[in-house]
Amino acid sequence: MSFKRTLLACTLAVAGAAMAQQAPTEIQMWMGLTGPSGELLSRFGDDFNKSQNEYRVVVSFKGQYPEQRAAAVAAFRAGNPPHIMQMFDAGSGDMVQARGAIIPVSEVFKRANIRFDPADFIAPARGYYGLPNGDLLSMPFNVSTAVLFYNKDAFRKAGLNPDQPPRTWPELIDAAGKIRATNAAPCGFTTTWLAWIMLEQYNSRHNVQMGTLGNGRGGLGASLTVSNPMNERMVQTLVDMQKDKRFDYGGRSNDAAAKFISGECAMLTQSSGGLGAIARDAKFEFGTAQLPYWPDVKGAPYATTIGGASLWVFNAPNRTDHEFRGVAKFLDFLRSDKVMTEWAKATGFLPATNSAFKAMKDEGFFEKNPGRDVPILSLIEGAKGEHTNGYRFGRWTEIRDVYHEEVERALQGRQSAKQAMVNFERRGNALLRAFERSAN
């Protein structure tokens, strides 16, 4: 070999080695999940990293969703936000108004020249996270809705049919009374996520307006309309049931799940995503049913609404097209049938895509696992109404806490159910006006 050819071969070898040793581009993803779901999402990041060597995804827990959102806003202002952030449904209104910080996920895929059709996702998820032109703001991932879990062993002990869970609120109230009368459990019923279930899901279940401008989806300027007989009725029901432990308050977030898993409470309203922990830790046979409704409400039961979280893409001053392509490739990996079906089977969250749902049906998963289709049927088969497509209010996490405070005062006997809702609407609207001032 000539000297020139030898030199060229050596040069190419060195260049190839340098390229091989070049570190993959890092993609930061922040998640708000812990426990088995958080572990599985982290593993998906590892699986993606093993599937290629161009990018390295780092999945990190940065606190619960509200804390994570605050940290991401601070990071954006400092110029170094995560590439992807998992944000719960209640934060959608804030994210929409984060001008310049967020790039709609449809646009991210378009930039990367990777096929992305919002119609691939189940209709309730498209509706919740969609834009008027049909594009998606964020990618639905851990999709859930509220369901009723019930202890079949406690039902048998109380003389109730374990295969006939309560469908309506009167039936649930009656079942809770029989459970207490027979001491089948120390508590008849409890709930997690008080505002999400007893306000947001409850209003969707009965097609009741929560606020003007399409429940805030029409943009800034919406006002809450929650001080009404339907919401007063729900609060009063909880106040009445707690007097004899037919209902036992378990806190504002997910803590009440422990009351059900331990056998203390025989019924629990909870996110369908809570199924994994119940299946792992409960020492009794349990069932899953749709959220109760008041049968005297015309048209009920209406569909429940989407919960869980979606994946948002952050912008940043020095973020490159190469990085955005890595974001799109990882999101494309997460929406694959392989990942979506494993995610849904392991966690109790719903398959977010139509093809994943079909794949699970075709393999007989729902037939082999009775009750696992309950949440998706609640979303898809329930009647659709003007107010069943979710909401999009700014500062909703804070507004939720106002609801908690006012309902807790009612549960403590410090005010009526009516006064609780009057105060909640007034204080919530004040927060909406403050949000508008900060957004302008």
Q: What would the pLDDT profile of 295-320 be if each residue is shown by its tens digit?
A: 999 999 999 999 989 999 999 988 99
pLDDT of residue 64: 79
The upper half-sphere exposure of residue 330, i.e. CA atoms within 13 Å in the direction of its Cβ, equals 33
Q: Are 428 and 407 in contact (CB under 8 A)?
A: no
Under DSSP, is residue 21 helix (H, G, I), strand (E, B) or coil? helix
Q: H-type helices in 130-186, by residue range?
A: 152-157, 169-181
Whole-number Å distance between alpha carbons of 206 and 91: 23
pLDDT of residue 5: 52
pTM: 0.87
Under DSSP, is residue 440 helix (H, G, I), strand (E, B) or coil? coil
- DSSP E strands in 119-165: the ranges are 139-144, 146-151
Amino acid letter at 431?
L
Q: Which residues of the chain have pLDDT under 50?
A: 1, 3-4, 7-20
Residues 338, 341, 345, 350: is their CA dihedral positive or negative? Answer: positive
Closest-CA residue to 389 (of 211, 233, 226, 168): 211
Angle formed at CA 35 by CA 31 and CA 36, multiple of 5 degrees: 100
Q: Are 316 and 191 in contact (CB under 8 A)?
A: no
How many beta carbons lie within 10 A of that of residue 3, not counting itself?
Answer: 7
Whole-number Å distance between alpha carbons of 9 and 11: 5
pLDDT of residue 276: 83
Which residues does residue 87 pair with via DSSP β-bridges, in sequence order?
310
Whole-number Å distance between alpha carbons of 291 and 166: 9
Closest-CA residue to 395 (of 336, 438, 360): 438
In order of their start, the domains of the chain are 23-143+307-363 (3.40.190.10), 146-304+392-439 (3.40.190.10)
How many beta carbons lie within 10 A of that of residue 229, not counting itself?
Answer: 11
CA 320 to chain centre: 30
DSSP secondary structure letters along 49-60: HHH-SSEEEEEE
Angstrom distances, CA of residue 268 to CA of 46, 57, 262, 291: 34, 36, 12, 10
Q: Are 171 and 237 in contact (CB under 8 A)?
A: no
pLDDT of residue 6: 52
The four Cα atoms 95, 96, 97, 101 give a dihedral, to 10 degrees, of 60
pLDDT of residue 248: 98
| Residue reference for tokens 């001053």 | 317
Residue 8 main-chain phi, psi, to 5 deg: -65, -40
Q: Are 358 and 174 in contact (CB under 8 A)?
A: no
Q: What would the pLDDT profile of 189-221 be if each residue is shown by its tens digit?
A: 999 999 999 999 999 999 999 999 999 988 899
Buried b or exposed e, range 340-352, using 16+ CB within 10 angstroms: bbbbbbebbbbbb
